[in-house]
Amino acid sequence: MSGTSLDGIDAVLVDLSQPEPLQLAKHYLPFDNDLKNTLLALHLPSHNELHQAQITGNQLARLYAQSISPLLAQTGIEAARVSAIGCHGQTIRHCPEHGYTLQIGNAALLAELTGITVVSDFRSRDIAAGGQGAPLVPAFHDHVLRHPNIHRIILNIGGISNLTNLPLNAATSGFDCGPGNLLMDAWCAKHTGKPYDDNGAWAASGQILPELLERMLKEPFFFLPPPKSSGRDLFNMTWLQNKLQGNETAADVQATLLELTCRTIAQAIRQHCVGAKEIYLCGGGAHNKTLRNRLSAMLTDCSMHTTNTLGIDGDYMEAIAFAWMAQQTLHGKPANLPRVTGAKHPCILGAIYRNL
């Protein structure tokens, strides 16, 4: 998995032969700045962008293959024993309103480099069926993290924040809440040179700017009913710059961005997850102490933990989920939840690149 945060590749080797997924090995491969900047540029129209997207997709395939080798080395498992690689690819456009989403990564090349069957392009079929193509991971949460007696929420705070609602005696739902880390990370990188705000310490040093927060909260996306999804196509530095007046202190903007993330998450939970008792965090935002404390203060009716306490590594949740989706594809089983994505029906997701 390489996601909206554009920080790097999360790779896991997962045993799915039992009801509970067993993580056998993990590896993280960071993106260098050149690749990150190229991927950021591909989110916008530019000269020769089709050629650049294909070349970058080949580069990503080689990095995905590179990230898989340590998993096999850690476990002594040979490639021939791996059923499939579930490869999400890197999203460079997500436009369900226009009927498409685009993840690059050249799955055919990845299959050739590794000798392992690859399942990729998970989102397109859901969009073809009238869905948003996202979020997809709630189907995995429903499969492994639902509790028979406790109303749970699984809250992923990656580049975008999204939640899975697991109520009692009702269908699972889920949707994107808004920006998670991506605006905070971009603002932090611009003003401090660091890729992220460690533990939210910089945000904690600033003051929330009520007028700026109010301008940001007027974004129409926040008022849309689920199902809904978003990404860098909407929430990006241009979006932020258009909300600024130019005289704000950088630390105050960071504090306000953190408040925006927390406020939109809390608003979504209050409105759509009434009665929830437990929240389990995953994604990079789970490590942000300032963010966690602010969320806890806003959502006092719920206990808050990380998904690690449930036996799922929160840093690798999405990678594990796409391994499960690849298994669903190979078995000819659906892996979307129409109530979550808005698709007209359950779909078998993904395209398969088989090895002999």
11, 20, 318 from 171: Cα distances, Å: 30, 21, 21
Q: Which of 141, 136, 176 is nearest to 159 (CA)?
A: 176
* Mean predicted confidence (pLDDT) in 180-193: 97
Nearest to 187 by CA among 263, 233, 248, 229: 248
Handedness of CA 281, 314, 312, 131 (dihedral sign): positive
Task: Please report, for the chain, how many H helices and E strands are present, in that order.
Answer: 13, 12
* Proportion of the chain above pLDDT 90, given as a percent: 99
Average pLDDT over all residues of the chain: 97
User: What residue has token string 């436009």?
Assistant: 95
Do the Cβ atoms of 46 and 354 come closer than 8 Å?
no
Over residues 82-124, the pLDDT tens digits come to 999 999 999 999 999 999 999 999 999 999 999 999 999 999 9
pLDDT band at 356 (very low <50, low <70, confident <90, very high): confident
Cα(356)–Cα(350) distance, integer angstroms: 19
For 14, 29, 243, the CA distances from 211, given in Å and listed in that order, are: 47, 39, 10
How buried is 286 (Cβ within 10 angstroms: 0-12 exposed, 13-18 middle, 19+ buried)? buried
Are the beta carbons of 16 and 144 closer than 8 angstroms? no
Average pLDDT over residues 329-348: 98
User: Buried (b) or exposed (e) across 65-84, using 16+ Cβ within 10 A?
Assistant: bebbebbbeeeeeeeeebeb
Q: Is pLDDT at 248 greater than 90 in this prediction?
A: yes
How far apart CA 93 and CA 126 sit, in angstroms, is 16
Tokens of residue 211, six digits: 């007028």
pLDDT of residue 311: 95
Q: For the residues 71-85, what does the mean pLDDT come to?
A: 98
C-alpha separations of 299 from 145, 273, 286, 302, 316 in Å? 21, 11, 15, 6, 25
CA distance 185 to 173: 28
Pairing of strands 278-282, 152-157: parallel
Residue 213's beta-bridge partner residues? none
Cβ neighbors of 179 (< 8 A, separation 6 or more) are 159, 160, 161, 235, 257, 260, 261, 264
3-state DSSP call for residue 177? strand
Asked if 306 and 281 touch (Cβ cutoff 8 Å), the reply is yes
For the domain made up of 8-133+317-353, give the CATH fold.
Answer: Nucleotidyltransferase; domain 5 (3.30.420)
Fold assignment, 146-310: Nucleotidyltransferase; domain 5 (3.30.420)
- Look at residue 319 and tell me whether its pLDDT is greater than 90: yes
Q: What are phi and psi of 136, to 5 degrees?
A: -100, -30
Mean pLDDT over 124-136 rounds to 97
Please check whether residue 84 is in contact with residue 331, taking contact to mean a CB–CB distance below 8 angstroms.
no
Structural domain spans, the chain: 8-133+317-353, 146-310
